[in-house]
Chains A and B, each alone.
Chain A
Amino acid sequence: MSMATMLQLLGSGMGKTAAIFFLTLLFSLPLGLFFSFGRMAKNGLIRGVSKFYISVMRGTPLMLQLIVVYFAPYYVFGIRIAPWYRFVAVILSFVLNYAAYFAEIYRSGIESIPRGQYEAAQVLGYSRVQTFVKIILPQVIKRILPPVTNEMITLVKDTSLAFVLTEVEMFTAAKQIAAKETSIMPLMIAGLFYYIFNLAVAVIMEQVEKRLNYYR
C-alpha cells in the first residue's frame, strides 16, 4: 500500500472521528445541563434518578456501554438491527456517557455561584429563567471551560473505542491497515493525527478562554 493511500484512508477515518467528536459535543453538552438540573432538583425522585444515571454512566466502561447500546434493541426489544444503526449507536453511547460527566461539571460551576447573586437578581425583578440565562450561566461557562476542555481532549481519544462496533473511524482504519501491512507504522501515524487534533482543540479552547476573560 502506498503512503498516499494509507494517508487518504487514515484521513477518511479522521473524518469519521471528527464526526463522532462534534456530534457527541453537540448533543451531550445540552443533555449534560439537563442532567445537572436533575441532579440539583428539589424533588427527591428526579434527584435520585439523575444521581443513579450519572453513577451508572461514570461507573461502567464506555466500551461496555457501546456494546449494550448497539445490541440492546435486539436483545431487549427483539428489533432486528439495521445497518445505519451502527453509527447511531456509537453517537448515542458517547452522548449518554459524556452527558454524565458534563452534568457534574455544570453542577460544580452552578454551585460555585454565591447564593447572594440569586437574591440580588430577585430583588431587581429578574425571573428565575432570566436570572439563570443572563446572570448565572455566563459566569458558569467561564468557570467550567478548563474541565470541559479536559473532557473534550479525552473525548478525541475515546472515539477510538468505536472500534468495538467496527465503526471505521481512524483507529479501526489504522488497525486494519496495520493488519494488511503487518506493520506498526499506521498506528503511529494515527497517534500523530490524534495529537494534532488535540493540539487544535487545546489551542482553540485557550483562545475561547481568553475571549471570555472580559472582566480582567
Chain B
Amino acid sequence: MMKKVLALLLAAVMVLGLTACSSGEEAEESTAAAQTTAAQEETEAAAETAAGETAEGGETAAAQEGERTTFTVGFDAEFPPYGFMDEDGEYVGFDLDLAAEVCARQGWELVKQPINWDTKDMELSSGAIDCIWNGFTMNGREEEYTWTVPYVDNSQVFVVAEGSGMETKADLAGKVVGVQADSSALAALEDEENQENLDLAASFASLNQFADYNTAFMELEAGSIEALAMDIGVANYQISQRGGGYEILGGNDPEQYLATEQYAVGFLLGNDALKDTVEATLMEMVEDGTFMEIAEKYADYGLVEAVCLGK
C-alpha cells in the first residue's frame, strides 16, 4: 500500500515539477507593462459577464419548458410534516407527496433535492431547483416569486415548555426566544408594518436565530431558549413526536398566535409557464379528491384542518 502511495506521489510530483519549471522561465520574460494590461482586461471582462447574466435567468428557465422530463423540488429535509425522512430513509411529507402526484400526472420524473434553507433563493435562481415546495409562506414574499394559489392556511405560534407559566404573548417579555433563520416567523417578528409584532420582538431578552428545529428544541429542553416561534404544523409534529412536555402558547386561542399566513408553491419570478402547469394539475387533484386523500395521510399533524383547498 505504502509503495503505491509513494509511486503515485512521485508520479504527480514529476509531472508538476516539470510544468512548474517551464512556466517559471517563460513568465520571467514577460514585462511589467504587459502584466498590467492583462490585469485590466480581465477586470473589464469580469464586469461585462456580471452585467450580462442578470437578464438571462428568466429566459433560460422559460426556454427549457419545451422538453421538460424532470421536475426538481427544493425542500428542507428537516421540516416535518412537509418534507422529511421517513422510516426507511426516503424523503416524504405532505408537500413532496403532492409534488409526486403532480409529476405522475405530467409524466415528469420527480427529483427531491434537499436544500439549505439559507441559500434557497440562490438555488432557485441558479436553476439547481425548479421550485420551492416545502411549507413555503407566500405572505410578505408575494413580489419575490411566482406563486401558485395557496393550499394551506398556516399560523405562526410560540412553543413553550409545559408548565412554564407563560400563557399570553405579554408573558414573553424578558424571555429568550428562538426562531429559524430566514423563516417566516422571523419575517413576522421583523415586519416593519406590524408595530404590534415589532413591540413584541423588542420585549424579548434576545431573539436567537437557529438553523434547524431539532437543535432549537434541544435548546428549549436544556433551558437556554424559553420559547420558540414556528409554524403550527411543525409545532404539532414536534410536540407529538417528543411525547409532550411542550405546549403552544395560548393553546387554541388565535389571539396569542404570532401571525397567520398561507403556504403556496414558489417558482422563479417570471416562470409562469411552469407555475401554470403545476397549478392546473394541483387543482385537478383538488377536484377529484386526491388532494384531501394526501392531506389525510398527515391528519395527525393537523393538516386536514389546515388545508384551504378541497373543502
CA distance A45 to B27 in the complex (A): 8
Give the size range of A's interface with the partner.
35 or more
Q: How far is the CA of A214 from the CA of B56 in the complex (A)?
A: 61
Q: Does A113 contact B (CB under 8 A)?
A: no
Q: Are A137 and B20 in contact (CB under 8 A)?
A: no
Given the interface pairs A80-B60, A141-B9, the reply to whether A129 lies near B17 with Cβ below 8 Å is yes
Residues of chain A in range 114-171 having any CB-CB distance to chain B below 8 Å: 128-129, 132-133, 137, 141, 163-166, 168
Tell me if A179 and B85 are in contact (CB < 8 A). yes
Q: Are A81 and B16 in contact (CB under 8 A)?
A: no
With A76-B46, A179-B84, A182-B238 as contacts: A129 and B18 at CB distance below 8 Å: yes
A11 to B147, CA, bound (A): 39
Would you call A18 an interface residue if the criterion is a C-beta within 8 Å of the partner chain's C-beta atoms? no
A83 contacts B by Cβ under 8 Å = yes
Question: Could you tell me if B14 and A184 are in contact, using CB atoms closer than 8 angstroms?
Answer: no
Q: Contacts A74-B125, A77-B53, A176-B114 hold; do A30 and B12 have CB atoms under 8 A apart?
A: yes
| B262 part of interface (Cβ distance < 8 Å) | no
A33 within 8 A of B: yes
Decide yes or no: A2 and B119 within 8 Å by CB, A81-B127, A83-B72, A175-B78 being known contacts: no
Q: Which residues of A contact B87 (CB under 8 A)?
A: 1-2, 5
A80, A175, A178, A212: which contacts B127 (Cβ < 8 A)? A80
In the complex, A21 has a CB within 8 A of chain B: no
- Chain A, range 50-107, C-beta contacts under 8 Å to B: 67, 71, 73-78, 80-81, 83, 85-86
Judge whether B77 is part of the interface by a CB distance below 8 angstroms.
yes
Which residue of A30, A46, A177 contacts B27 across the interface (Cβ within 8 Å)?
A46
Classify the interface of chain B: helix, strand, loop or mixed: helix
Roughly how many angstroms separate A43 CA and B32 CA in the complex, as a whole number? 12
B13 near A5: Cβ-Cβ < 8 Å: no
The answer for the CA separation of A37 and B16 in the assembled complex, in Å, is 9
| Nearest-neighbor residue (CB-CB) of B6 within chain A | A141
B 46-84 contacts with A by CB, 8 A: 46, 49-50, 52-53, 56, 60, 72, 77-80, 84
Structural contact, B20 and A37, CB atoms closer than 8 A: yes
- Kindly identify which residue among A33, A81, A132, A166 contacts B12, using a CB–CB cutoff of 8 Å: A33
Asked whether any CB of chain B lies closer than 8 Å to the CB of A180, the reply is: yes
CB of A30 within 8 A of CB of B16, answer: yes
- Decide: B119 and A81 in contact? CB cutoff 8 A: no
A179 & B78 in contact (Cβ 8 Å cutoff): yes
Whether B84 contacts A34 by the Cβ 8 Å rule is: no
Q: How far is the CA of A46 from the CA of B253 in the complex (A)?
A: 68
Closest A residue by C-beta to B217: A182
Contact status A137-B49, CB under 8 Å: no
Q: Which of B99-147 contact A (CB under 8 A)?
A: 111, 113-116, 118-119, 122, 125-128
Chain B residues with CB under 8 Å of A34's CB are: 16, 19-20
Residues of chain A whose beta carbon lies under 8 Å from any beta carbon of chain B: 1-2, 5, 8-9, 29-30, 33-34, 37-38, 41-43, 45-46, 67, 71, 73-78, 80-81, 83, 85-86, 128-129, 132-133, 137, 141, 163-166, 168, 172, 175-182, 184, 208, 211-212
